[in-house]
Amino acid sequence: MKQEILSSAAGYRELDACLERNAVKRLLLVCGKSIERLPLWEYFLRLPQRLGVEVVRFSEFSPNPTYEAAVRGVEAYHRGKCQAIVTVGGGSAMDVAKCIKAYSTMPLGSDYFHQPLLPNDVLLVAVPTTAGTGSEATRYAIINYRGEKFSVTDFSLVPQVVLFDPQALSSLPLYQRKVTMLDALCHGIESYWAVSSTSESRRYASEAIALTLSNLEAYLGNDPTGNARMLEASNLAGKAINITQTTAGHAMSYKLTGLFGLAHGHAVALCVDALWPFMLSHTALCSDPRGEAYLKETFAGLAAVMGCPTSEAAMQWFRRLVSDLSLQRPAATEEQHDILKLSVNPERLRNHPVTLTTGTISQLYHQMLG
């Protein structure tokens, strides 16, 4: 499916045209409270009078959203007799919206989580308000079910339409800028070295990494052009991950967010920071069927994309970046370390190009945490 990209220019006229073209008269708006600070909020307030489109707002979810929140969203969708879903926000809002779309055509009130996911053509429009998750370009939705994170996955969950609105990023706090940028960068890096990488995914990942690095300072400085370019970089990284899935960096990060309250991109960056030097010094443990020589070429190619002369220089550049951004490294008890080393999804490790044992993972957690 080719994704339609809309511009926010000219008073969101392209979004008007999209709604009219799809004959949308009632839509579910999945968003957090932060939307009220955005120019886009006025657009939705005026939709009923301007285009006769009724807007049903759904905000009953939190970061790291739960299955129960998605169920409430499905109920709101049906109660409002909606025909389409528009989600405005970061990864959490998009995860909820994707699940609502996935469950919206199942029997109302049923156990959605354990049913086969059947594709549907419910229109899903995504407006990212952070430049990092790339969720608007992927088939994945991460949801908490009974205290554990699960991925709801289907290609039909990729939003058919994406609106890039750089103004939506203008009020992001500096910490959120740092961690969302790191999330996009780590998506590109992990996709580049993933066992499941292809020539197409490498192209997306390379473009995402180069665009992120060339606009890093402008984005952190809240420059409008930097904001616009980082939205593009995040989307490209999302397209890469949509092909390859993530690797150990993400697999090791999930429990960190729950145990220590770290933002997702923060946790992923700490994991990649610990993994990269281990990988370079243990290429003999290559798990990519293309072989160790290919893996070494991959690290060299990644360095070239980053503008670094060697694989070691690229790894050190990333480590300096994480250090310069002054990200907190929480201290973990031995009990927490035991929880962490057993929390990693072995399925994700199969996509990592260097074999990791439980002992190695434990060692890496000890290195990354205070």
Express each pLDDT in 270-322 by its tens digit. Answer: 999 999 999 999 999 999 999 999 999 999 999 999 999 999 999 999 999 99
Q: pLDDT tens digits, residue range 238-284?
A: 999 999 999 999 999 989 998 999 999 999 999 999 999 999 999 99
Residue 91 confidence (pLDDT): 87
State the average pLDDT for the chain: 95
CA 30 – CA 20 distance, rounded (Å): 19
CB 55 within 8 A of CB 27: yes
CB atoms inside a 10 Å sphere around CB 159: 26
Residue 69 confidence (pLDDT): 97
Mean pLDDT, rounded, for 67-82? 97
The letter for the amino acid at 66 is T
Angle (CA) 312 316 317, round 5°? 115
pLDDT at 203 > cutoff 90 = yes
Residue 339 confidence (pLDDT): 94
pLDDT at 136 > cutoff 80 = yes
Entry pTM = 0.90
Q: What six digits make up the tokens of 324?
A: 């310069």
The strand pairing partners of 95, in sequence order, are: none
CA 172 – CA 352 distance, rounded (Å): 32
Which one has a higher pLDDT value, 231 or 11? Answer: 231
CA 177 – CA 174 distance, rounded (Å): 5
For residue 286, how far is the Cα from the chain centroid? Answer: 27
CB atoms inside a 10 Å sphere around CB 57: 14
CA 311 – CA 330 distance, rounded (Å): 28
pLDDT at 370 > cutoff 80 = no
pLDDT at 347 > cutoff 90 = no
CA 83 – CA 14 distance, rounded (Å): 19
Residue 346 confidence (pLDDT): 83
Of 175, 153, 124, 221, the closest CA to residue 326 belongs to 175
Percentage of the chain lying above the pLDDT 70 cut? 100
Mean pLDDT, rounded, for 94-109? 95
Q: What six digits make up the tokens of 293?
A: 């020589």
Residue 1 confidence (pLDDT): 65
- Reduce the secondary structure of the chain to three states and give it as a string: CCCEEEECHHHHHHHHHHHHHCCCCEEEEEECHHHHHCHHHHHHHHHHHHHCCEEEEECCCCCCCEHHHHHHHHHHHHHCCCCEEEEEECHHHHHHHHHHHHHCCCCCCCCCCCCCCCCCCCEEEEEECCCCCCHHHCCEEEEEECCEEEEEECHHHCCCEEEECHHHHCCCCHHHHHHHHHHHHHHHHHHHHCCCCCHHHHHHHHHHHHHHHHCHHHHHCCCHHHHHHHHHHHHHHHHHHHHHCCCHHHHCCHHHHHHHCCCHHHHHHHHHHHHHHHHHHCHHHECCCCCHHHHHHHHHHHHHHCCCCCHHHHHHHHHHHHHHCCCCCCCCCHHHHHHHHCCCCHHHHCCCCECCCHHHHHHHHHHHCC
CB atoms inside a 10 Å sphere around CB 132: 32
Residue 327 confidence (pLDDT): 93
Mean pLDDT, rounded, for 77-83? 97
Mean pLDDT, rounded, for 121-137? 93
pLDDT at 59 > cutoff 80 = yes
Mean pLDDT, rounded, for 126-131? 94
For residue 38, how far is the Cα from the chain centroid? Answer: 21
